[in-house]
Amino acid sequence: MDQIIEKYQRSSGKRIMVEHDDHEINHHKEEMLNDMAMLRQESLRIELGIQRYLGDDMNGFKFEDLAKHEEELESSLAKVRSRQIELLQQQIQNLRIKERILEEENINLSNWEHMRVMEFHNAGVEGKKLGQQHQNAMDEFAFFEDQPTSSILQLALAQPTLQDYLKARDPDQP
């Protein structure tokens, strides 16, 4: 009993007098009994509310009570659905933003790749032009007419590869 009184004092902030004044003791007991009755009623009301929302023990309800309960449930359901729709719209918006970012990144990568291919192609065309210019120069300096110009001077034009070109453009690449 002392533990119950102590818990009551802590939760309610009220102090029970230990003095032997019968009138004060009776007053405090009466106050405690009233508080306990109110707590029991509140607990019962909460339990009934939970049962009502769960659909348990609906036998005691009148038609009007059931209609009111149905309206309350529909209102609650509308709030839940509204929140679900709001969350789904936020997710859709976030996914659209992510889609735009990925599309932009894809376009940038495609443009970069196209530029690199074009630069490589241009480097190859220039290399062929240099090779042709070299051949023309060798033809002009033919020392012996019976010897082919390729045997007079062996110059190897190294065709640039894509790897060589990328290394020259971006020295940080391995």
Q: Does the structure show a pLDDT above 50 at 152?
A: no
Residue 167's contacts (CB-CB under 8 Å, 6 or more residues apart) are 173
Gap between the Cα atoms of 81 and 11, Å rounded = 38
- 91 has pLDDT over 90: yes
Per-residue pLDDT tens over the stretch 56-77: 777 777 889 888 888 988 999 9
Residue 156: pLDDT over 50:
no
Give CA–CA dist 39/49, Å, rounded. 15
- Check residue 159 and report its DSSP letter: P
pTM here? 0.42
Q: Cα–chain-centroid distance for residue 35? A: 49
Give the DSSP letter of residue 141: T
Higher pLDDT, 134 or 120: 120
Element housing 64 (H / E): helix 63-140
Q: For position 31, what pLDDT does the model report?
A: 85
State yes or no: pLDDT of 28 exceeds 90: no
Q: Tokens 């009551």 map to which residue?
A: 8
Average pLDDT value for the chain: 77
CA dist., res. 87 & res. 19, Å (int): 61
Residues 3-21, mean pLDDT to the nearest whole number: 68
